Amino acid sequence: MRLDKYLCEAGLGTRTQVKKLLKSGVVAVNGRTVFRPEQKLSETDRVEVSGKEISVSEFEYWMLNKPDGYVSATEDRTFPTVLELLPEGARGDLFPVGRLDRDTEGLLLLTNDGKLAHFLLSPRRHVDKVYYARIRGEITEAHVKAFEEGLDIGDEKRTLPAVLEILPKSREKDAGASEWESRESEDCTPEAEPEIRVTLREGRYHQVKRMFEAVGCRVMYLKRLSMGSLRLDETLAPGEARPLTEEEVKALKEETGC
């Protein structure tokens, strides 16, 4: 690996910032000051900055509170991507685990750990994904039962059983109310939109929206609250991200068997 790339992945800044750091003479490899960003490193090389040893973790894990308007992709020609919301110190090989629609908000995990991502997204693992939504249309106990039995949303197979909860009008905080915003339309006010929480164990294309369309309703607002053991940190404002804690990473690996 090039020295400048190593320093970037260690969280010491962008390529431009790292080059300035090297010019200042504070970077040493195996005890010798190094100025060239292109210098190659081996696995046994010891890198120090201002006398402090620097190391790079093999994997990184970030929690993002995804806002409306961003696509869950590493690149896009039309819309901004979720990677643009990460701080400059984040690794350049991160990718979103699964996709949230451009207008969907909430929890999104970004990592370079392909094995963990595969296990979290595998239909055979049945990792719970919990969403909060506001719905246009009447939601009844009949809909709750229909979700439990699985729905025909136009795919080859019906959806797996899902848990649909009709939330009280108080808009409990843990149901996503902290991000609740007033949105009016020509014939429907937010007060008339039932609030629900739904738990899925698979992740098909536009699945939540298609499930409600299958029962004659429409999703007006959608936010993911959790994925497996990982719950959205409500102290993160939309568009903010933070590294996962050691406890959060450990819990994800334990439940997926990674």
Q: Which domains does the chain have, with CATH numbers?
A: 3-54 (3.10.290.10), 61-243 (3.30.2350.10)
Q: In whole angstroms, what is the distance from residue 96 CA to residue 112 CA?
A: 9
Per-residue b/e over 114-142, b at no fewer than 16 CB within 10 Å? Answer: eebbebbbeeeeebebbbbbbbbbebeee
Condensed to tens digits (0 to 9), the pLDDT of residues 4-38 reads 888 887 777 788 889 999 999 999 999 999 999 99
Q: How far apart are the first and last CA of the chain?
A: 26
Q: What are the residues whose beta carbons fall under 8 Å from the beta carbon of 203, sequence distance 6 or more?
A: 98, 121, 123, 129
**Quick one: pLDDT at residue 170?**
52
185: part of which helix (H) or strand (E)?
A: none
Condensed to tens digits (0 to 9), the pLDDT of residues 126-176 reads 899 999 999 999 999 999 999 999 999 999 999 999 999 999 875 444 444
Q: Measuring CA to CA, how many Å separate 208 from each of 50, 99, 119?
A: 51, 12, 21
- CB atoms under 10 Å from CB of 154, counted, come to 9
- What residues act catalytically? 101
Which residue, among 238, 242, 206, 240, has the nearest Cα to 68 in the 3D structure? 238
